[in-house]
Amino acid sequence: MKFSANLGFLWNDRPLPDAIRAAATAGFDAVECHWPYDTPAADVTAALTETGLPMLGLNTRRGNVEAGENGLSALPGREADARAAIDEAIAYATATNTRNVHVMAGNAAGDAAHATFLENLHYACTAAAPHGITILIEPLNHCDAPGYFLTTTTQAVAIIETVRAVNLKLMFDCYHVQLMEGDLTHRLQTLLPHIGHIQFASAPDRGPPGSGEQNFVYLFETISRLGWQGPLGAEYKPQGPTEASLHWLETHRGGRE
């Protein structure tokens, strides 16, 4: 089993290039991040080249965070802002050879929001395709992200099937799915053709594996048995120094290629 360090939570007390180096030292196979835009892409690329780690994904900007925005792409009337954020994310991903861009929907509801999200996803998929970039959408739970437009895998798959772009996939975050829907094993089995990336954290505390209600030995074995080849994204909150939270890594990682 391979693992990716999500640097939005792990080693987020240091500059992004240094966090990449820390992930490599700890034995991760890849990295991913949230919003890297304050760090020059050249600095990130240099750290990735130095460590040999791929960058798996990054997010579009949330918008005006102080005003409570958590993404722009499902907000009617904000199409220009949403597409500027998409363009920025694709440009940064291209410069750093990042494979996936998570297009954040934002806090919205209703038919107009649904139509706006579809239009912006069409735009994102078309813009990303020439660069070989996959667009991801991720359901978020309503405890951590109240009011977020996209909340269930059922809703996400319906959107993916409507857009019908080969480079639009589901970000299956085991933490969010556990809180909103549960039944992780059957959902992974059923949704595997739609999944572009898998993330995890313990529920309900969003801590490292072993601190919550899921059986991660069984969960990781299930994912492996399904034939998943990519690194799994460790997107948990360490609740202290990141190094002190890595007890699970060697246990679950097994041999490295």
- Other beta carbons within 10 angstroms of residue 196's beta carbon come to 22
CA angle 198-32-49, nearest 5°?
130
- Provide the token pair at 248: 């699970």
| CB contact at 8 A, 242 and 209 | no
Half-sphere exposure of 128 (CA within 13 A, CB side): 31
What phi and psi, each to the nearest 5 degrees, are found at residue 209?
Answer: -55, 135
Look up 138 and say whether it is catalytic: yes
Q: Which two three-digit tokens encode residue 102?
A: 């998570």
30: nearest Cα among 12, 57, 11? 57
Q: Which of 79, 88, 138, 221 is catalytic?
A: 138
Catalytic residue among 79, 88, 235, 250: 235
Residue that has been written with the tokens 């480079």 in this structure? 167
Catalytic residues: 138, 235
